[in-house]
């Protein structure tokens, strides 16, 4: 059998609902009274400019993360329009530069947190390879390399030299992101204008040598990577064959000797 709700309780519920309705009604009336009335196109346009500016700021993800004080932001906007800013132009520039620095620091912090697992995975991969292959050596900077085959020896390039190489680059999972071998065209470049791992590694080689480099991100493309093929923090593996060294000073000396003869 269903229990009947006492009439007193029903009365109390109805009274409570009416009381809530009575409280909401003034709020709605006040809201309606606050609604702006535009008397001209310029008034509408003025409001639209302010709304557009504030909406852009409100939707900026970085500003959200920086916990901007909206009340002071609005006051600064209003004071600036009215020529009543608490700061002079130099102080404003100082604060904006400080804020820009804080944003950059925040972005770097987030990027570092994002790429750290990628770095750790690369380090673990190379450590595992080194444990299985004692021929992989490591320089003081952290560059890992393995001699695949040696040529006839001879001069090694300096950082100021231009070198001609064939190479293939992969990620640690074997994904190939670049290869002069596949293109069928060797690459020539100044050794001091490439990633640090290449600049250091090529100086270990003589013409005809083939090396494999395991390059951590701080000697490669860093936390930013090289989109879209190289993610931030990635360890890179390069098979490199040094084909030629184009030493500018030696070439000039040979040219002078030839002219003298």
Catalytic residues, by residue number, are 167, 177-178, 195, 221, 238
Cβ contacts of 17 within 8 Å, gap of 6 or more: none
- Residue whose pair of structure tokens reads 């604060």 in the numeric block: 95
Strands 187-190 and 236-246: unpaired
Asked if 145 contacts 201 with a C-beta cutoff of 8 angstroms, the reply is yes
What are the structure tokens assigned to 78, written together? 């209003």
Calpha distance 261→85 (Å, rounded): 78
Q: Among residues 85, 56, 61, which one has the least CA distance to residue 72?
A: 85
Question: Cis peptide leading into 249, omega within 30 of 0?
Answer: no
**Alpha-carbon gap, residue 217 to 223, rounded angstroms:** 7
| Calculated CA dihedral for residues 220, 222, 226, 229, nearest 10 degrees | 80
Contact 243, 186 (CB under 8 A): yes
> Which alpha helices (DSSP H) does 5-60 contain, by range?
7-34, 41-58
């Amino acid at each position: 059998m269903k229990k009947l709700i006492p009439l007193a309780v029903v009365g109390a519920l109805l009274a409570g609902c009416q009381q809530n309705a009575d409280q909401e009604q003034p709020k709605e009336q006040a809201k309606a009274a606050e609604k702006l009335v535009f008397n001209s196109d310029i008034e509408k346009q003025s409001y639209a400019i302010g709304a557009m500016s504030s909406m852009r700021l409100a939707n900026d993800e970085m500003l959200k993360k920086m916990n901007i004080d909206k009340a002071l932001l609005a006051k600064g906007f209003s004071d600036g329009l009215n020529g009543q800013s608490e700061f002079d132009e130099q102080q404003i520039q100082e604060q904006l530069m400080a804020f820009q620095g804080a944003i950059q620091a925040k972005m770097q912090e987030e990027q570092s947190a994002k790429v750290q697992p990628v770095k750790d995975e690369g380090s673990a991969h190379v450590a595992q390879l080194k444990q299985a292959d004692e021929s992989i050596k490591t320089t003081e900077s952290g560059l890992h390399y393995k001699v695949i085959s040696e040529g006839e020896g001879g001069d090694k390039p300096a950082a100021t030299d231009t070198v001609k190489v064939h190479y293939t680059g992969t990620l640690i999972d074997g994904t190939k992101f670049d290869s002069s071998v596949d293109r069928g065209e060797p690459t020539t470049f100044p050794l001091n204008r490439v990633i640090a791992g290449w600049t250091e590694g090529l100086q270990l080689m003589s013409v005809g040598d083939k090396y494999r480099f395991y390059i951590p991100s701080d000697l490669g493309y860093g936390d930013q990577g090289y989109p879209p093929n190289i993610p931030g923090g990635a360890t890179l593996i390069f098979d490199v064959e040094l084909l030629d060294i184009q030493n500018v000073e030696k070439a000039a000396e040979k040219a002078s000797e030839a002219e003298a003869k």
